[in-house]
Structure 1
Amino acid sequence: MSPPSAACSPRPRSHSSAPPTKSGWSLSTYQNLLDRGFTGPVHLVSPRSPEVHGRAAHKSLTDLGTPVDLAYVMVPASAVLDVLREGAELGIRNYVVLTAGFGETGVEGRRREQELHSLVRERNLNVLGPNGNGYVNAAAGIAPYGLPVTQPPPAGTVGVVLQSGALASAVLTFMHARNIGLSMLTSMGNEMSLSVTDVVDHLVDDPATKVIALFLETVRHPAEFARVARRAAAAGKPIVALKIGASKLASRTAQAHTGALVGDDHVVDAAFRRLGIIRVHSLEELILTAGLLARTGPLPGPRIGVVTPSGGACEIIADRAEQEGLEIPAFAPATTAQLEESVPEFATVQNPLDVTGYVLVDRTLLARALKAVAADPVGRLVGRLAHGRWLPMPVPWCVAGAQIVSSTTTGFQPTCHSEPEGVRT
């Protein structure tokens, strides 16, 4: 196993060591391990209490007397080094360190992190963190994650990597609400040992992951990041990235958060374009774009066809398509003739196509128009933008939104809906 694979996929037949405290983080981590499907035994460790969360606890890792695949550590920062040193002596190689107070906090914290890093390199350990919440591996059914996961998303094919802790929980909630399937979510922390690049490398090889979504404060190892981005592209796994830090204030905030040096935003833009990384500008856009790509795969080209019962929507799409470098070419003569037989006489047959509100009268109009446009050489993707709960389309969440149809796969209709409370995929 590669280092991130070993850390993020402990073997069910072995043990996962829970944190040695009675804190809320400890309870959340313990509950997540129980609730998310981990089938191996979980050992609790506390030097101060013989019982934690209603179960007997060991005083130390040494007292376990049994091999452990993963140790989740949330002791004071001053004690982390001793815990990992003890674990290394016992042959424990994989750790999640939730504890903060390292490189993100100043001179003393940086000194402490350097000592920890020296131990990690000397003993060949894999550490996620410090100052990170852990991960939720939905595909493998294990979640050593330090915050409550009250509404887990379904298992699916979107891998999420975040240089943030609390936002990871927001992403889980958003994915649950929008029914977007998760393969694995990782909260990185300070990246002292395992980095974003390492986890992305793992996701490229992970058969459960089709799309990779990144929340980035910084790219710590640009050359390695470029290498794994190219690997992802070659594997047909698109990367969607929300890169913050364009403003001076955001840059300073990131430095205080994880010790990140953000870098020039124009350079990031150019690098992402060259590497084929899709850059987005909000957390919602990050997850919705990744969810859409998980259903459709990468866009096969810049040419699209659009069908909608709204003239205003046609104008919005035309403007946005031009901004994004997409082409909305004219329909072929045969398609135009076919559509003219279907749409009402007061409709104009063009791309984008407004089939008008006549869809309320003719309940098959929208489906016929979609089928005709999907067969047109305009491109392999057809977009359908619609609104209102009255729509007659037999789509699982047919409330409102943009629907992408692959003309090469009958009935393949992933949908993005726009609703008063948000956007749903």
Structure 2
Amino acid sequence: MKSSLVKTDTSQLRSLLYSFTEDLSLNFLERRAKNKNHKATILEELQDVVEELVGRERDLQSSVEIGLSILDNNDQLKFKLSEKKNKLMHALDKVHHQSIDIKTLQESLVTAETRYEEINKALIETEELMLLNSAEINRLNRDRFLECRPVSNEEEIELIKKEFRLELESIQKKRSQLEKENRRLNEIFSQKEKELNEYKENFTKLETRYTKLQENYKESEKSREIQSQEIEMLDSQVKLLTSRCERLQSLSSRLEEDLSMLKFSDNDTSAKPGNSHASSLHSELESLADEYDELAFKSALAQGNNSIEDLLFLKPSHIHSHTPKTRTSSLFSNTRSFSISSGLGINVTQARGQRKKPPEEYFLLTVQAVKMNSPHMDSVYSVSSQELYDNAIKQGIPFHKWHIWIESQLNLAYVQSLYKKTRRNIWKRYGQKMCL
């Protein structure tokens, strides 16, 4: 049961770690760019970003807890392994002592057997000598008796019978004594054999136990190596998650700062309505701006510019730029003619010293004004104004939305430069170590 529970826990842990690695395979900005379920307003989108960051922090906390639990489990395994080692050493000492005892018993058994054989030989020799001596004594006694007085044949036969009975009785007594001694030695030999068999059985049991302990030790070593590898993997993932969390926190703080700046600029523009209606040309285009706000936002979403950077840095519809604008008819006619000529592949060559078209000059002046007023002027100044103008013409951005579109593009370029810097710093910090 315990092994099955451990297997299920490790499988769940592996699936959880694989899910973390899949989530971390893409960075935050790429995942947000691929996500098409964006919110309607900037505040809701920012709240969604903050909730996702909080979820990432929870995942980081859970991974740290998993790593700590694995470290505790590894400590417990190390403690159990040390106990098993101590038991194994004690069993090995016991086996060594018992093997020494078995060797001594075998030597004593061999000596007892040799002594038993020697005693048997000595007894046989003594019996033979006793029989010879008794026969010789009887013969001598009989000769003396015959020499002393003559006897009849019957008396001689009776004497011989008595001597034979006496010798037979003595032989039977000696035989019974030898049999008793033999039985005693056989009993001792059987006891020694039983003890030897018991020692052999204990020795085989200890050998099997020793092999099992060695197998358990090897398995525990393998499990410890696996646990150490998992701990190293978790440490690397925890480091990666902490770095990602720090990056996401810094990104969220920058987004909150940009949102506060947008709110502050919104309050400033709403507090000064006289500046927005200063010129007659702006009041003439005010009605057109209100109609194109929602259409431009929908067109940006339809064209795929629905990433987190584009949506967060777009201004609301009631915020308008204070730069002067040209008339719509001339601008649309120039824009259409330029788009038709660029679509047909016609290159319009201009003489040197000739002024550019008024829409282009107005666009370039607007870009310069936005760059000068941007808080990130050092990072944004390297963006090409001509490329911005070409992109605006290709995307069909209306002229009264140029100011907002330029600001969004410059802010996007600033965020991308920050992201490239963070990736470069992470590569300098971790990538070179990983390549070693």
Which TM-score applies when normalising by structure 1? 0.17
> Quick check: which one's helix share is greater?
2
> Quick check: which one's strand share is greater?
1
Which TM-score applies when normalising by structure 2? 0.17
Q: Which has the higher contact order (CA 8 A, sep 6+)?
A: 2
- Tell me which structure has the larger Cα radius of gyration: 2
